[in-house]
Amino acid sequence: MEFVLIIVLTFFASAIGASTGFGLSTIMIPVLSFFLPFSVTLLFVGIVHWFLDIWKMIFFKKGFDLKLVLMFGIPGIVVSFLAAKLPLSLDESMLARGLGLFLILYVAYLLFKPGWRVRPSVFSAIIGGSLSGFFAGIFGVGGAIRSTFLTAFDLKKNVFLFTSGVIGFLIDSSRISQYLFSGIKINGNLSTVLALCIPASLLGAYFAKRMVDKIPQKSFRLFIAIALFVIGLKFLVLP
């Protein structure tokens, strides 16, 4: 029953993650960590997320800015590889609450100053990529930070999701390799469940593609902001 629930959870989490650019890890990691070791949870969800990155690149292939991908991706790769060694030695609860508070304050500021956004620059892209890589490596969640900084560049929704997928793919590849180098493994029946979760994530991403096409471009940034607020509240109250 637990394994069936994981597969169903993967579908819904993938649909949310593909439609917003983040959210799969935020949903799956807290649930799986109830009955799996945290390190195994990070590797399991990281692999599912890696495939979701691929599905996003397939379903939302509308072009991307290579310079933007590199500005986010290169620091993200380096930082996520280094941070992936730390999740068992630092206070994850404190870090999660800090991330949640940051996201809530960011969305609250958007409500009072709707015209404001992170200034689109090389510096903000490097900071966004580094923070995304850090939180992805240390407890598997980096997409919300990445989306926060990507919204600064006012990308069209399909380009936004495709670009998020490319950057996420680079960062996830880095941290997954560190998990594997550190000796984390997925064995037995859990490997079978992982294999079944991959097509479930594909179905979820396809469902997201159908949903995103129905969201007007002018509403997409508000849609992302609401999702960021919900994720931030979750981290702050239930890290």
pLDDT of residue 161: 81
User: Which residue range is the domain that position 64 belongs to?
Assistant: 2-237
- Tens of pLDDT, residue by residue over 154-209, are 778 778 888 888 888 999 999 999 989 888 889 888 999 999 999 999 998 888 87
Higher pLDDT among residues 40 and 217, named by residue = 40
What DSSP character marks residue 34? T
- The mean pLDDT value for 25-48 works out to 83
Number of domains the chain is built from: 1
The answer to pTM > 0.75 is: yes
Whole-angstrom distance, CA of residue 237 vs CA of residue 239: 6
pLDDT of residue 173: 94
- Tens of pLDDT, residue by residue over 115-154, are 556 677 888 889 989 988 998 887 777 777 787 788 778 7
